[in-house]
Amino acid sequence: MLPIVALVGRPNVGKSTLFNRLLRKSRSITHDMPGVTRDRIYGECRMGDVRFDLVDTGGMCLESEATPELSKDFEDEIFEQAREAIEEAHAIIFVVDGKEGLTPLDEQAAEYVRRSGKPVLMLVNKVDGDEFAAEMTAEFHSLGLELLPVSAAHGYNLPDVRDRVRRFVVDLDMPADEDDGVERGLKLTMLGRPNAGKSSIINAIIGKDRLIVSDVAGTTRDSIDVTFEKKNKRYTFVDTAGVRRRANIQDHLEKISVIRALKNSKRSDVTILTIDITLGVGRQDKRLIEFLAREKVPFIVVVNKADLVPRNETNQALEAFRRELRIVPHVPIVMTSAHKGVGIGKLLPMAEAMRQECEIRIGTGLLNRSLQAVLERQQPPVVKRRRPKFFYVTQADEDIPTFVFFCNDHTLVKQSYARYLENQFRKMLGIKTAPVNVVFRSSH
């Protein structure tokens, strides 16, 4: 596992801006895609020889998702998130707003951060240059934290931030890589509404096979990973405590568990979203599906409790689920009954196959021959009286198959043509169920 550095602070202090800035340096490709990084909450950073995960807790759910009934609990929610992030992190970047000055919320947050005993760097943001630094940071010294004036938007002092964060990570002295010679098994995350049957499915999968470990793992106290072996392969269900616990939480807290669930998904190879066939795709499921689709998470949808539906109605039910999943037509749907043991045996092989597809590496020669064939079959449509011209395509070194198309002007590539390219590439390269990323870049 990589060290985790969390960005903590009130909304609007500039966490997301900073998050994108820090990631841009290390993940050049994903960051050229509009809309992809905006909501990203979790990203791998490389700074020189060190790697770590940067987590942004604030931006996503509070801004794009805040509902009216939520705003009254706004501050509670922020703190709940901050607390989780602090607990999980190995080091903390605490962001405050130099323009607005010190607020009671900052003081409270600083208190949490200090009490955690973890290395903290406080960034006084929106200091748009040296000349304002002394004045704008003055009152923040009272918080008693190591402090640096920065401008996330304009880049002021960001090289310094990188330097210090890098040192934090080095000082943590954690094993930099999990590549210790032991074969890594498939990691799975189980998502779904309470009572959908997640625990029953995990139990049905594990069956009578030997449970190797069932202990408190990771950095979050109550995160329980369950590892087991099946046919000489090792599998882990990540955060099964979350699977159970979520049954009791209220709706408003559910937003936080969505964030947590997504973090787990990001750390897993494959996510399984379980839905109760008698209830269908609910609001929460829809939101999860949208997130998983947007974040390009490899996932399987399990439609459970099939035993409760008459056999002649199952096809109809499946079609309804297929419609709900039209934004991700590659995602497999499996009908199961945890009680009767139906469909359960398909899940692990399917997850294995999905991971294998994620690991596909395709040579430049084949990619470009494929591109030529695809272009010949259907030319890209003319946009603003210009036709996009594709020069070549390469596969980027990412966790999921990511194809970068270099063209004369990426703004000319229509969504529909991007979909066409993705579908054709999927067909030619045999990528059936894994997510695929297509990226367009202008090159002159």
The residues that touch ligand GDP, with contacts defined as CB under 6 A, are 9, 11-17, 58-59, 125-126, 128, 151-154, 192, 194-200, 243, 247, 304-305, 307-308, 337-339
Whether 56 has a binding-site annotation, put simply, is: yes
> What's the rounded Cα separation, in Å, for the pair 130 and 136?
10
Between residues 119 and 197, which has the closer beta carbon with respect to ligand GDP?
197
Q: Which is nearer to ligand GDP, 278 or 378 (CB)?
A: 278
Question: Nearer Cβ to ligand GDP, position 48 or 341?
Answer: 341
**Helix, strand and coil percent figures for the chain, each rounded to 5:** 45, 20, 35
Q: Establish whether 163 is an annotated binding residue.
A: no
57 assigned to a ligand binding site: yes
Choose between 240 and 395: whose C-beta lies nearer to ligand GDP. Answer: 240
Using the minimum distance from each CB to ligand GDP, give the nearer residue, 40 or 330: 40
Minimum gap (Å) between residue 141 Cβ and ligand GDP = 20
Count helices and strands in the chain by DSSP H and E runs: 15, 16
| Residue 101 labeled ligand binder | no
Minimum CB separation of residue 347 from ligand GDP in Å reads 13
Q: For the residues of 140-201, what is the DSSP string, one character each?
A: GGGG-S-EEE--TTT-TTHHHHHHHHHHHHHHHT--S-S-SSSPP-EEEEEEE-TTSSHHHH
HSE, side-chain direction, 13 A CA sphere, residue 308: 12
The H or E element containing residue 335 is strand 333-335
Between 246 and 426, CB nearer to ligand GDP: 246
Nearest approach, Cβ of residue 353 and ligand GDP (Å): 23
Establish whether 20 is an annotated binding residue: no
Instruction: Please state the φ and ψ torsions of residue 281, each to the nearest 5 degrees.
Output: -80, 110
194 is an annotated ligand-binding site residue? yes
Instruction: Tell the smallest beta-carbon distance from residue 219 to ligand GDP (Å).
Output: 23
Interatomic CA distance for residues 283 and 193, integer angstroms = 10
| 214 touches 356 (CB < 8 A) | no
Rounded least distance, CB 59 to ligand GDP, Å:
4
Q: Which residues of 373-393 are buried (b: 16+ CB within 10 A; e: fewer)?
A: ebeeeeebeeeeeeebebeeb
Q: Minimal CA–CA distance to 358: which of 367, 350, 366? A: 350
365 is an annotated ligand-binding site residue: no
98 labelled binding-site residue: no
- Name which of 253, 244, 326 is nearest 286 in CA terms: 326
Residue 125 known to bind ligand: yes
* Smallest distance from ligand GDP to CB 296, Å: 22
Nearer to ligand GDP, 211 or 247 (CB): 247
Dist CA 419 CA 191 (whole Å)? 27
d(Cα 444, Cα 391) in Å, to the nearest integer? 10
> In angstroms, what is the minimal distance from the CB of 384 to ligand GDP?
29
DSSP state of 379: P
- Which residues are annotated as part of the binding site for GTP? 9-16, 56-60, 125-128, 192-199, 239-243, 304-307
- Which residues are annotated as part of the binding site? 9-16, 56-60, 125-128, 192-199, 239-243, 304-307
